[in-house]
Amino acid sequence: MFYMDSKSQFTVDIISKVIDGKITINSATQLLQKSRRTVERYLRRYRKEGIRFVIHGNTGRAPINKTPDSLKKEVQRLIQKKYYDFNLQHLSELLRKNEGLSIKRETLRSWAHEIHHVKRAKRRRTRVRKYRERMRLPGLMLQMDGSPHRWFGDGKSCLIAIIDDATSDIHAQFFPSETTEGCMKVMRAYIEKRGVFKTLYVDRAGIFGDPKRSNFSQMQRACEELGIEIIFANSPQGKGRIERAFDTFQDRLVPELRFNNITDMESANRYLQEEFIPNYWAKKLMVQAVSARSAFRPLPPDLDLNSICVQKEYRTIRRDHTFSFDSKMYVIDSPVRYSIENQKVEIRCQFDGTFSAYFGHRRLDITELVEPRKCHEYGKEVQRKLEALELVEQLGSITKAARILGCSRQTLYTYQQVMEEEGPLGLKRINKPLKRSKNRIPEHVENKIIELTLLNPHGTAIQLMKVLKEHDITVSITTIQNIWKREQLNTRELRIKRSQSMNIEV
């Protein structure tokens, strides 16, 4: 039993009509759009086999070049378990290199689709941008940027890279974040390898000193000393060479670092410099420049990268040939023939935390000054606040300490909170003095109100106001209520409880 499609059924009908003499062979060739020889072959097979002639002889047989199902299942298992984050082209290369399996990319694509495991790039609709040709000379323009990403391990790190626009020659290194130190190290390494280049194409990050931050950018200062011009891109697409390089790194380098069990920055940098860039990038992605000449120039002998690729700050020299840096005082020990007061001393800070002072091109010998401590290192105002807190600890009561000091309890609460959170320096920022408000009633009147309240805790504010008039004290009901609230006597239960505790102490 077999099945025929509509085309096969039509062929059988035409051949049977030729056998029955209803149509001629020439008509059959036109209807079937076959040659006369083919129709005659159909006739011979029809007389010999019947209507089975229309079925091809290889129907139901496996192709002789078909890939075994065992190999297909093994590759799909490797994709799911071992190579799950590789793209198809990268996967084909690694299967050939590591597993000895030579499988075409499109075959891998169909197998990956069957297990719903295909890594696809994101497609976004963007505006049309004009294509820019590569620079003709190597060293004429280099692009630099950083890419924060989870490159290895569980945490994020930043890959800082610099790439030649003409040849795609690249140098990259991992850092904890995109910093001035990292950018300078990458630029210095490339200069030591190739030479000084002409221009640097970057984004408008503050590290590179866009017009708003040009006054304190160390990268811009270093490029000016090296004679490198910085060009700022108006969009990420403007520096597309480095952006596409990061796409390649994220697509290929991340799976390789994971595959080789690399989880620390030192090993990742070693693999990047010794394996990935020379064995893949340099062989497959670098191109020849249009011109055989080069725009790189050797580093001039009068320039030293050790004195350029550093953090530089400037301080004014005082009359006694001292200057301050990092909250410390330093004196110049180097012999000088004339006074250099009001001149600028250059502080060169290395990235390991050390620094040195230069005047002109001469390195100065300096010594840190250790000044004697003052009577109290925080000042008299802070000392008074600390003494107030010590009194609170001695008495064990903020209320009693506030009465003695003549301040509100809220002030002492504030001092305690600031002391716990910021320490003595925090107390220095509080300018509120330990003194009573000008509009506050005298302290002896407050004490008399509290005393009469505790003698008659069941009384109301109106009754207490009448008693106070007998003692020649005139206050409003609101004042009495505010004092009760401040002293936590605003309810009858609280007044009775305080009165009983006072009687017990007596």
333 and 403 housed in the same domain = no
Q: Are residues 418 and 481 in the same domain?
A: no
Nearest Cα residue to 365 out of 374, 373, 353, 356: 356
Q: CA 243, CA 199: separation in Å to the nearest integer?
A: 18
Whether residues 185 and 251 share a domain: the answer is yes
Judging by DSSP bridges, how do beta strands 311-316 and 344-349 pair with one another? antiparallel
Residue 504 token pair:
């017990």
486 Cβ partners below 8 Å, 6+ apart?
408, 409
Strand, coil or helix: 120: coil
In a domain, 175, yes or no: yes
| Lookup result for tokens 């305690």 | 416
Does residue 148 sit in the same domain as residue 272? Answer: yes
Q: State residue 81's pLDDT score.
A: 87
**Residue 303: inside a domain:** no
Burial 220-251 (b: 16+ CB within 10 A, else e): bbbbeebebebebbeeeebbbbbbebbeebeb
Nearest CA-CA partner of 188 in 291, 344, 306: 306
| Residues 385, 365 share a domain | no
Q: With left for phi above 0 and alpha for psi between -120 and 50, is residue 469 left, alpha or beta?
A: alpha
> What does the DSSP 8-state code read for residue 168?
-
Q: How many structural domains is the chain composed of?
A: 6
106 is a domain residue = yes
Q: Are residue 210 and residue 272 in the same domain, yes or no?
A: yes
Q: Are 286 and 138 a contacting pair, CB within 8 Å?
A: no
- Same domain for 275 and 161: yes
Whole-number pLDDT of residue 506: 34
Cα 86 → chain centroid: 24
> In which domain, by residue range, is 13 found?
6-54
Judge whether 187 lies within some domain.
yes
Q: Are residues 235 and 259 in the same domain?
A: yes
**302 found inside a domain:** no
Q: Quick one: DSSP state of residue 252?
A: I
Q: Say if residue 150 is in the same domain as residue 262.
A: yes
Long-range pairs for 391-397: beta carbons < 8 A, 24 or more residues apart: 392/416
CA dist 399 and 406 (Å) reads: 10
Long-range pairs for 431-438: beta carbons < 8 A, 24 or more residues apart: 433/381, 434/384, 434/385, 434/388, 434/405, 434/406, 434/407, 435/406, 435/407, 436/406, 436/407, 437/408
Q: pLDDT truncated to tens, each residue of the chain (506 aa)?
A: 567 778 888 988 998 899 888 899 999 999 989 899 999 998 988 888 888 888 887 777 777 777 788 888 888 888 888 888 888 888 888 888 888 888 888 888 888 888 887 766 566 666 777 788 899 999 999 999 999 999 998 889 999 999 999 999 999 999 999 888 999 999 999 999 999 999 999 988 888 877 666 567 889 889 999 999 999 988 888 888 999 999 999 999 999 999 999 999 999 999 999 999 999 999 999 999 999 899 999 998 888 898 889 888 899 998 888 899 988 889 898 888 888 888 999 999 888 888 999 998 889 999 888 765 444 556 677 888 888 888 888 888 888 888 777 788 888 888 888 888 877 777 776 654 445 556 677 888 888 888 899 888 888 888 888 888 888 888 888 888 888 887 888 888 888 888 888 764 43
Neighbour count for residue 305 (Cβ, 10 Å): 17
The CA–CA distances, whole Å, from 38 to 33, 35, 44 equal 10, 5, 10
Three-state DSSP state, 312: strand
CB-based contacts of 104, cutoff 8 Å, min separation 6: 92
Residues 345 and 452 in one domain: no
DSSP alpha helices (H): ranges in 53-104? 69-81, 88-94
pLDDT of 253: 94
Is 237 inside any structural domain?
yes
- Provide the CATH number for the domain around residue 146: 3.30.420.10
| Interior angle at CA 143, CA 142 and CA 149, nearest 5 | 145
Query: Does residue 419 lie within any of the structural domains?
Result: yes
Give the predicted TM-score (pTM) of the model: 0.57
- Predicted pLDDT of residue 335: 86
Considering the domain architecture, whether residues 225 and 178 belong to the same structural domain is answered as: yes
Q: Let me know whether 148 and 192 are in one domain.
A: yes
Give the DSSP letter string of 136-147.
SSTTSEEEEEEE
Is residue 374 in a domain? no
Give the pLDDT of residue 390.
86
3-state helix, strand, coil in the chain (%, to 5): 50, 15, 40
